[in-house]
């Protein structure tokens, strides 16, 4: 009897939609790449940021402060940490010992690991021990050697596993406490004002199936992100580069989002570009605004006119959530 490799079988217990999703995952080259990539990215979307960064080149050598909003599970934060040189060995979670320093690592709270027992004692035990004594309830400090530059901060309401070189905050990024906390983490001799070079947002609300409601949710997220960015971004003038002060913001194509871009993004940036990286699925209306050259939080000359006259959540508003086109790589009019 001859034997041959069998193809993965999807249980008939799964509903058709789940079987279709699993089949798509097995066919997706980015899913396969994520599983085999040496960086072991936590999410498929990490490749989107890699492609955007390669095209738009916003991770310049002078970038020293990055904030990732809605960061969980951490794929974009991994990319940012890698761009700033924090992930020297291609490992997620805890890096291999650095060749630049052979001393045993010292945790943020002063706990030093015995070099003879570090290989046998789980890191999670040490982290729990520290957190149970004098740890910060909001902050998950990275426990890596100082091999990179600057600071990467990941903010989310969900708890995240540690990432080399990333300070993880579990809080609402719009809260006054978050403003003060993020500023304090970023302040140093090179960044006395605690400003951010790049703000990243790959956030998306859970889809309800109601197109008008989903559009409104997307608008609310975009408004929250630009509100944060206007408070924290470094201006192009202070950076000394025409394209300094960058916001990368996810959106879903719709006329109301195009209006938002024109009224809420263009007044604050020297260039606002639409981009859809190859890793974005072709059947998805998602895109990314690449906003470069932050001008500063200018006085508002008008109210938020991007909102519909009536609530977009009402079916009677007649909003077509499929309208509009993504203009790849062109500056927004």
Query: Does 121 score more than 50 pLDDT?
Result: no
pTM, two decimals, is 0.69
Query: Does 110 score more than 70 pLDDT?
Result: no
Domain span at 212: 45-103+140-317
User: Is residue 87 situated within a structural domain?
Assistant: yes
What's the confidence (pLDDT) of residue 203? 96
CA atoms of 236 and 303, how far apart (whole Å): 25
The least confident of 55-59, 62-66, 131-135, 162-166 is 131-135
User: Is residue 108 situated within a structural domain?
Assistant: no
Query: Does 195 score more than 60 pLDDT?
Result: yes
| pLDDT (average), residues 166-182 | 93
Four-point Cα dihedral 48, 203, 181, 171, nearest 10: -130
Secondary element (H or E) of residue 178: helix 176-186
Residue 72, CB-side half-sphere exposure with 13 Å CA sphere: 10
Find the catalytic residue in 100, 250, 276, 305: 250
Query: DSSP for 75-118?
Result: HHHHHHHHHTT---SS-SSSPPPPTT--SPPB-TTSPBPPTTTT
- The label of the residue with tokens 């559009």 reads 215
What's the confidence (pLDDT) of residue 115? 40
The mean of the pLDDT values for the chain is: 75
What's the confidence (pLDDT) of residue 12? 57
Strand residue runs (E) in 160-218: 166-170, 198-201
What's the confidence (pLDDT) of residue 224? 96
CA atoms of 269 and 314, how far apart (whole Å): 32
Q: Which of 22-36, 240-254, 291-305, 309-323 has the highest mean pLDDT?
A: 240-254
User: Is residue 125 situated within a structural domain?
Assistant: no
- The Cα-based distances of 128 to 107, 118, 135, 137 in angstroms read 12, 15, 9, 12
pLDDT class for 39, splitting at 50, 70, 90? low
More confident residue, 316 or 27: 27
Query: Does 100 score more than 60 pLDDT?
Result: no
**CB under 8 Å, gap of 24 or more: what pairs does 318-325 form?**
319/211, 319/212, 319/215, 319/254, 319/256, 320/211, 320/255, 321/211, 321/212, 321/214, 321/215, 321/252, 321/254, 322/211, 322/285, 323/254, 323/255, 324/253, 324/254, 324/255, 324/257, 324/258, 325/253
Q: Which two tokens stand for residue 88?
A: 């020297």
Q: Residue 268 — φ and ψ, nearest 5°?
A: -105, -10
CA atoms of 105 and 113, how far apart (whole Å): 6
What's the confidence (pLDDT) of residue 259? 96
Q: Tally the domains of the chain.
A: 1
Q: What share of the chain is helix, strand, coil (3-state, %, to 5)?
A: 30, 15, 55
User: Is residue 117 situated within a structural domain?
Assistant: no
Could you report the per-residue pLDDT of 48-74, keeping only the tens digit for each?
Answer: 999 999 999 999 999 999 999 999 999
User: Is residue 297 situated within a structural domain?
Assistant: yes
Q: Which of 243, 242, 246 is nearest to 232 (CA)?
A: 246
User: Is residue 63 situated within a structural domain?
Assistant: yes
Could you report the per-residue pLDDT of 269-312, keeping only the tens digit for each?
Answer: 999 999 999 999 888 899 999 999 999 987 654 444 444 433 33
Could you report the per-residue pLDDT of 67-96, keeping only the tens digit for each?
Answer: 999 999 999 999 999 999 998 544 433 334
Q: Residue 87 — φ and ψ, nearest 5°?
A: -100, 90
pLDDT class for 135, splitting at 50, 70, 90? very low
User: Is residue 159 situated within a structural domain?
Assistant: yes
Specify the CATH number for the domain of residue 184: 3.40.50.150
CA atoms of 210 and 302, how far apart (whole Å): 30
Q: What is the DSSP letter of 6?
A: P
pLDDT class for 33, splitting at 50, 70, 90? low
User: Is residue 333 situated within a structural domain?
Assistant: no
Query: Does 138 score more than 70 pLDDT?
Result: no
List CB contacts of 317: < 8 A, sequence separation 6 or more: 212, 308, 310, 311
What's the confidence (pLDDT) of residue 78? 94
270 is catalytic: no
Please count the other Cβ atoms lying within 10 Å of the Cβ belonging to residue 23: 12
What's the confidence (pLDDT) of residue 148? 87
């Amino acid at each position: 009897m001859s034997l041959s490799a069998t193809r993965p079988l999807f249980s008939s217990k799964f509903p058709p939609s789940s079987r279709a999703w699993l089949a798509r995952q097995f066919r997706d080259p980015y899913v396969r790449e994520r599983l085999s990539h040496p960086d072991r990215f936590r999410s498929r979307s990490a490749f989107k940021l890699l492609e955007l960064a390669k095209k738009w080149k916003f991770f310049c050598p002078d970038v020293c402060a990055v904030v990732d909003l809605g960061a969980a599970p951490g794929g974009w934060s991994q990319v940012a940490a890698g761009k700033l040189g924090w992930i020297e060995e291609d490992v997620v979670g805890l890096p291999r010992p650095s060749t630049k320093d052979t001393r045993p690592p010292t945790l943020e709270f002063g706990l030093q690991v015995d070099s003879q027992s570090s290989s046998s004692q789980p890191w999670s035990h040490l982290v729990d021990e520290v957190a149970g004594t004098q740890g910060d309830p909001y902050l998950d400090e990275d426990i890596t050697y100082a091999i990179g530059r600057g600071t990467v901060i990941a903010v989310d309401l969900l708890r995240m596993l540690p990432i080399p070189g990333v300070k993880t905050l579990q809080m609402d990024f719009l809260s006054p406490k978050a403003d003060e906390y993020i500023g304090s983490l970023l302040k140093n001799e090179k960044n006395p004002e605690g400003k951010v070079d790049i703000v990243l947002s790959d956030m998306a609300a859970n889809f309800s199936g109601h197109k008008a409601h989903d559009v409104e949710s997307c608008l609310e997220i975009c408004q929250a992100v630009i509100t944060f960015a206007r408070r924290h971004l470094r201006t192009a003038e202070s950076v000394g580069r025409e394209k300094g002060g960058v916001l990368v913001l996810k959106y879903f194509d719709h006329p109301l989002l195009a209006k938002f871009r024109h009224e809420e993004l263009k007044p604050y940036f020297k260039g606002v570009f639409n981009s859809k990286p190859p890793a974005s699925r072709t059947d998805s209306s998602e895109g990314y605004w690449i906003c470069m050259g932050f001008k500063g939080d200018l006085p508002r000359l008008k109210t938020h006119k991007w909102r519909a006259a009536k609530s977009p959540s009402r079916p009677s508003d007649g909003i077509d959530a499929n309208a509009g086109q993504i203009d790849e790589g062109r500056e927004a009019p």
